[in-house]
A and B are shown apart, each in its own frame.
Chain A
Amino acid sequence: MIKFQDVSKTYEGQTHQALRDVNVGIDKGEFVFLVGASGSGKSTFLRLILREYRPTRGHVYVAGSDVGRLPSCRIPRLRRKVGIVFQDFRLLPGKNVYQNVAFALKVIGKPSSVIRRTVPETIEMVGLSGMEDRLPDELSGGEQQRVGLARAFVNRPPILLADEPTGNLDPATSVGIMKLLDRINRTGTTVVMATHDSTIVDQMRKRVIELVDGAVVRDQSKGVYGS
């Protein structure tokens, strides 16, 4: 589903390599933790999958296409196959829960009949039924992240990326988010989650890829946070 082949990334104007010779393959339906200190390259890894950047060297394959070579007019189509949630949720403050989720479908031109069907379904799945009319600042952090997840998943992408999704949440709330991600993973969605929350990683016992200074130092199935 996702394949990094000898990937290095140096950001423009910098000499430091954000990623170094990364070779990783992630199969369909896998759940992968990406661990490492801040600045170890986790976010760069995710952003290369989304084709926010091109790799400086090597190839990144997502759902069969070499994203570094994708012409820019094809990028929107790639991104419709990849959902993403962030540490800071990135909800639109002026829109309520329903509108925030529906926005993701509306702007890719989904017909309103599809929106009316899928949006309530997804809101129910993330456990926010009855809160459709709330604005983001009327929600707790955990609830906001659920909206973020609903927005990322409402189009049923085969790949879901999560960039420190529990970074702003307390441990109890984080568990709820992890259960949700696990549930999404069990629908067959490939999940890649960058985190430095060791408790979560240790509890879930999923595949762990550890990055240090841009290089993969560990790739372990059913791993824990520390080696």
Chain B
Amino acid sequence: MRHTLSETFSGLRRNLTSTLAVVVTMWVSLSLFGIGVLSAQQVDLIKGRWYDRIELTVFLCTAASQGQNCDPGQDATQAQKDAVRAALESNDEVQTVFYQSKDQVYEEFREVYKDSSILGTMRASDMQDLFRIKLKNPEEYQGVRSAVEGMPGVQAVQDLRQYLEPLFGWMNLAQALTVGASALLLLAAALQIGNTIRMAAFSRRRELGIMRLVGASNFYIMAPFLLESLIAALAGALLANGTLAALEQFVILGKAKPSIQTVPWVDWNHVVIAMVVLVAVAVVLSIIPTLIATRRYLKV
């Protein structure tokens, strides 16, 4: 054990520059990878929240509406609203219906855009009364849509997913690019570890040869190399975890969350999950290249 540790540290010292290169590459690539993991969780959170709440929105007529079911210059009447609600509630596909008045919509609007200059240009009277509908099966929106679309007082029916899909599409693309870039960097890090260990093993080939001859076990021969690459990779993972923690603390909790409160943000639980994934990736990416690089020196 003492031999293994002293060999490990003398190896780390001897290959200091290569080891540092491995640590830095691991750090950057794992950080990117971690950001990819977090953004995947973020997309899921947003999807979960919004898809969970609403799938269809029925906008009711206002005095300014031009729709063919609207009486010009007049809001939808209470009777029209009741008829629409009754139609929705009696539909088998509908799970829940809730009504939001102009004022409630305006409140939500102010919440979302509270730091934006657009807020000053809109008033509660510019909003529309609406029904938000949750479906039993989100795919089956056509029946509900056609049931209320032509009713008097209904200005328009919108499928929310039609607006969110492109957004999620872009988010997915950004996420794929992050993960793709980090995968390339991780590959580079793994190759770098392989090279470092190959050089270390080559410079110690005499010793390795004698160790094999006198009957040292393979594990004993390999342990210093495994530890060396593991330490470098874990140092990189530690720095990457620090980066993720800083991102959560200063960017997400510090900036994003206070400014956009309508969407849920990844919290520390998600960050911890990402950190565990990073450590696992670092361990695998250090052990496999080391095993491959030292194989020829261990062939018995």
Contacts and interface: CB of A to CB of B under 8 A. Distances in A.
Interface in A102-124: 103-104, 106-109
Contact of A104 (B206, B214, B221, B300): B214
B216 A107 contact: yes
26 contacts: A51-B300, A72-B218, A73-B218, A75-B215, A75-B300, A76-B215, A76-B217, A79-B214, A80-B214, A90-B206, A90-B209, A92-B206, A92-B207, A93-B206, A103-B207, A103-B210, A103-B214, A107-B3, A107-B210, A107-B214, A107-B220, A108-B214, A108-B216, A108-B217, A108-B220, A109-B217
Contacts of B212: 76, 79
B214 A92 contact: no
Interface in A38-96: 50-52, 72-73, 75-80, 83-84, 90, 92-93
Nearest to A75: B300
Given A51-B300, A72-B300, A90 B210 contact: yes
Contacts of A78: 215
Contacts of B171: none
Given A92-B206, A108-B216, 12 more contacts: A72-B300, A73-B218, A76-B212, A76-B215, A76-B218, A90-B206, A103-B214, A104-B210, A107-B216, A107-B221, A108-B215, A108-B220
B211 interface: yes
Contacts of A103: 207, 210, 214
A116 B28 CA distance: 47
Contacts of B221: 107
Contact of B214 (A52, A72, A73, A155): A155
B153 to A, nearest CB: 81
Contacts of A76: 212, 215-218
Interface in B262-294: none
A151 B214 contact: yes
B213 A106 contact: no
B210 A92 contact: yes
B215 A79 contact: yes
A79 B218 contact: no
Residue from the set A84, A92, A107 with the largest chain B CB neighbour count within 10 Å: A107
Interface of A: 50-52, 72-73, 75-80, 83-84, 90, 92-93, 103-104, 106-109, 151, 155
A47 to B, nearest CB: 11
Residue from the set B3, B212, B217, B300 with the largest chain A CB neighbour count within 10 Å: B300
Nearest to B221: A107
A106 B3 contact: yes
Contacts of B211: 107
Interface string B211-236: 11111111011000000000000000
Contacts of B213: 50, 79, 84
B220 A109 contact: yes
A49 B209 CA distance: 17
A83 B210 CA distance: 11
Interface in B60-105: none
B222 to A, nearest CB: 12
Residue from the set B213, B220, B221 with the largest chain A CB neighbour count within 10 Å: B213
A75 B212 CA distance: 9
B10 to A, nearest CB: 11
Contacts of A73: 217-218
A92 B209 CA distance: 10
A73 B219 CA distance: 10
A52 B300 CA distance: 6
Residue from the set A93, A109, A151 with the largest chain B CB neighbour count within 10 Å: A109
A93 B207 CA distance: 10
A13 to B, nearest CB: 16
Contacts of A84: 213
A72 B217 CA distance: 10
Contacts of A77: 215
